Amino acid sequence: MDKATARDRILELRKELDEHNYRYYVLAEPVISDYDYDEMMKELISLEREYPGFLDASSPSQRVGSDISREFRQVRHRYPMLSLDNTYSREELVEFDKRIKKTVSGPFDYVCELKYDGVAVSLTYVDGLLQMAVTRGDGEQGDDVTSNVKTIRSVPLKLRGGDYPREFEIRGEILLPREGFTRLNRERKERGENLFANPRNAAAGTLKIQNSSIVARRPLDCIIYRVLGDSLPYNAHYENLAKAGEWGFKISEQTRKCKGLDDIFDFIDHWDKYRAELPFETDGVVVKLNDFRLHNQLGYTAKTPRWAIAYKFSAERAATRITSVEFQVGRTGAITPVANLEPVQLAGTTVRRASLHNEEQMRILDIHSGDTVFVEKGGDIIPKIIGVDKGRRDTRSHAIEFIDKCPACSTPLEKEAGEAKHYCPAINTCPPQILGRIEHFVSRRAMNINMAEATVRQLFEKGLIRDVGDLYSLDTEALMGLDRFARRSAEKLIQSIENSKSLPWHRILYALGIRYVGETVARKLASSFPSFDELMDASEDDLLSVDEVGERIASSVLDYLSRPGSIIIIKKLKNAGLKMEDRPGLPKNQDKKLEGKKFVISGTFGHHSRDQLKTLIEQNGGTNVSAVSSNVDFLIGGENAGPSKLKKAQELNIQVISEDEFSDMIK
C-alpha cells in the first residue's frame, strides 16, 4: 500500500469508527458487531504504526490509552466549578421558588435533571477538538486527566456538524454504570483484589489511575449537564444541551423542562420511584433556571449559584447494634461522640461507625449500651444514627453519658451559650487538636503542602514538629529518618514546603484553622485587614463591620489572637518568610476612588449582579459590609431593597444611592 492509499484508508477508518462510537455509546443503536468493530480498530492501529506521520490526537485509536505513567498537573478553571445548595425537603424547594419569584418578573422555565453519582469533569473544545479534561478539584483548580478521559467512548474527540463555537467548555459527570461496576468487581474478585465499595468510588479511583491503558479497559461513561462559553448558540440551558447532543455529546434522556413546582414534584416523584431501574446511580434531582439572563441577574453566593438547587432522595437505612461509643477531638477542639457498630451493608458500603454529633443528640436518641439502632446515609454518603429500636433494648443496659473532660488531655470541657458542641479549650497543647491543625494547614485548599496524614503523625510523634510553624524548620536529613522516606522524596517534600511560602495572606489565614473562619471569611478578613498586624489591632466593632462576620466569628478570632501560643506560631511563620500581608496592585485602569468607603448592597439590579457590584467596590478600594451601621458610608439600593436596611440607613443619615449613581462614582 502506498502512502496516499494508506492516508485515504486511515481517514476512512477514522470516520467509520467515530460514527460507530457515536451510535453505540451515545445513541445506544449499534449497527455492526463488536467483532467487526474490533477488526476495524486493529486495522487502523496497524496503519498508524506503519505510517506514524498520519497519527492524529483525535483518532479513535487514541482511546486505547497509553502504558506511560504520568503525574497529573494542576489546571485552574476558567469558570469556577461551584457546588450546589442541597435540600431533602419539598418545603425548601417551595422557598427556593418563592425567592426566585421575588426577584424575577414574568414567566420562566425550570430544567430538572437527575443528579448523577459520579465525578464532575470539565471538557474544553477548540475548533471542534477535545483539548483538555479537568476534574472539579477544589472548584478553583483540578487535575488534568485528558489522557484518561480520551479513553471514554461517549466523550467525542472530534465534534459532529459545524455549528459549534470555536472555543467552549462543557461539563459532565463521569460515572460507572451498574452493569460495568458489577463486571469490574467480579473480575477483581477473581484476581483476589479488593472490591470497590460503590460505582462512584470505582469511577473516581479509575479516573486517578496514572496509566490510561488501564482506564481504557474500564467501562466509564460521561453524561453532559452544562455548556459554558462566550458564543453559545442559545441563551438558555436546555436548548444548549439539546444542541450539544447534535455535536456528539451524550445528553441525559431524562432531562425535562418544567413550568413550575407541580412539574418539578412530578419529576421527583417519578424518579424517586423508578431510579433503581436506571443503568447508573443517582441520588437526587437538580433544579435549574433555564434562562442564562436570569442566572446573571441572580448571581452567586461565595460557594453556590442562586439559580439552582439539588433535591436529595431519602437515604437508605439499616438496623445494627452499637458495640461502644468513643469521643473524638477535632482540630478546633470540638468533641464528637462516635458509635462503633456491628458491620452492616448500607447504600453499597460496609458501615462500622456513625456520628452521634453531640450531647443533645445523644439525649434525644436516648442511646443505651448495646442498643439496636437505625442507621442511614445522609445524602447517601455520611452514616448517621436516626433512631433506636427500644423494643429490642436489654433491660440491664444503661444510658451512655457524655464526658466532662477531654479524652486526650483531660482538660475540663467548655460549652458556649447557644452552641450544641462541647470544646476542649487547650487549642495549643491538646495533641489531637495540634495534629488536626497541622493536617488542615498542609491540606490542598490551605497551604497545599504535599504531606500525607501519616507523615504529619510521624513528625509529631518523633517530636520534630509541635505546631505548624515548625514545618518550616524541617530539613532533608530530618525527613530521611521517617518510614518510607528516601533522599528524593524528602527533597520533594522540602520543596513543597518552600513553595507554600509564596501563597497569599488569605490562604495563610484560612490555614491557621481558626474556629468558624472558612475560606470565604478568610478572604474577607484579609481584604479588610491586609496584614496580620492590622488584624491584631482590630477591635470587635472593626471585625463586625466586615461582610459575613458576625459576633460568633469575631469572638473566635479575638480569642485566637489573645492566646500566647497563637502569637508564637505567627512569629515562626513570619520568620520563615511567609507573606503575612497582602497588598495587591490595583487592577488595570482602576484607582482608589472608593478608598476608605464602606458599602452595603441591598436589592436586585438591572446591569450588575450583587457579586459584580461587590467586586467593583473592592477593585476601587472600597469595603463591602453586610449590615447597616454608623460605620457605613453608602447603601446601594436596588429593586426590592430590604425595608429594614433602608429604614436604618435613613435613621443613621447614610446616603442611599442607585446602581447608576454608583457607576458614576467609579467612572
Q: Is 384 annotated in the active site?
A: no
In this predicted structure, the answer to whether residue 126 has a pLDDT above a threshold of 90 is: yes
Mean pLDDT over the full length of the chain? 87
pLDDT band at 42 (very low <50, low <70, confident <90, very high): confident
190 and 281 inside one domain: yes
pLDDT band at 67 (very low <50, low <70, confident <90, very high): very low
> Which residue is listed with cell 442541597?
86
58 and 117 inside one domain: no
Domain C-terminal end among 312, 336, 351:
312
> Which residue is listed with cell 478600594?
621
The β-bridge partners of 135 are 121
Q: Which three cell numbers stand for residue 475?
A: 530539613
> How far is residue 524's CA from residue 516's CA, in Å, rounded to a whole number?
13
In this predicted structure, the answer to whether residue 413 has a pLDDT above a threshold of 80 is: yes
Which of these ranges, 86-90, 500-504, 557-561, 571-575, has the smallest mean pLDDT? 86-90
**Residue 404 within a domain:** no
In this predicted structure, the answer to whether residue 654 has a pLDDT above a threshold of 70 is: yes
142 and 269 inside one domain: yes
Does residue 451 contact residue 442 with C-beta atoms inside 8 Å?
Answer: yes
**Residue 401 within a domain:** no
Q: Determine the structural domain holding residue 615 and report its residue range.
A: 598-665
pLDDT tens by residue, 229-247: 988 999 999 999 999 999 9
Alpha carbon of residue 11 to chain centroid: 41
569 and 610 inside one domain: no
pLDDT tens by residue, 302-347: 678 999 999 988 777 789 999 999 999 988 899 999 999 999 887 6
Which of these ranges, 35-49, 409-423, 426-440, 522-536, has the smallest mean pLDDT? 35-49
pLDDT tens by residue, 341-371: 999 887 667 889 988 888 998 999 999 999 9
In this predicted structure, the answer to whether residue 570 has a pLDDT above a threshold of 70 is: yes
304 and 323 inside one domain: no
141 and 285 inside one domain: yes
**Residue 402 within a domain:** no
Specify burial of residue 109 (Cβ count, 10 A radius: 0-12, 13-18, 19+): middle
**pLDDT score of 586:** 44
160 and 290 inside one domain: yes
**pLDDT score of 110:** 97
**Residue 583 within a domain:** no
**Residue 46 within a domain:** yes
**Residue 474 within a domain:** yes
Domain C-terminal end among 392, 409, 443:
392
| Residue 509 exposure: Cα atoms within 13 Å on the Cβ side | 29
> How far is residue 208's CA from residue 136's CA, in Å, rounded to a whole number?
13
CATH number of the domain to which 625 belongs: 3.40.50.10190
435 and 516 inside one domain: no
3 state SS of 101: helix
Percentages of the chain per state (helix, strand, coil), in multiples of 5: 40, 20, 40
93 and 138 inside one domain: yes
In sequence order, which residues have a C-beta less than 8 Å from that of residue 612 and are 6 or more positions away? Answer: 299
145 and 220 inside one domain: yes
487 and 514 inside one domain: no
pLDDT band at 588 (very low <50, low <70, confident <90, very high): very low
The β-bridge partners of 327 are 337
pLDDT tens by residue, 603-613: 878 778 777 78
**pLDDT score of 348:** 61
Which one is predicted more confidently, 61 or 357?
357
pLDDT tens by residue, 6-33: 888 888 888 888 887 777 656 656 677 6
Alpha carbon of residue 404 to chain centroid: 35
Nearest CA to 170 out of 109, 235, 250 is that of 250
483 and 359 inside one domain: no
Q: Which three cell numbers stand for residue 391?
A: 423494643
CATH number of the domain to which 382 belongs: 2.40.50.140
Which of these ranges, 15-24, 44-53, 188-197, 289-298, has the smallest mean pLDDT? 188-197
Identify the active-site residue in 115, 150, 288, 384.
115
Q: Which three cell numbers stand for residue 561?
A: 489572637
Does residue 298 contact residue 306 with C-beta atoms inside 8 Å?
Answer: yes
CATH number of the domain to which 525 belongs: 1.10.150.20
3 state SS of 662: helix
**Residue 495 within a domain:** yes
pLDDT tens by residue, 507-559: 999 999 998 898 888 988 988 888 898 899 888 888 887 877 888 899 999 99
**Residue 76 within a domain:** no
Domain count, the chain: 6
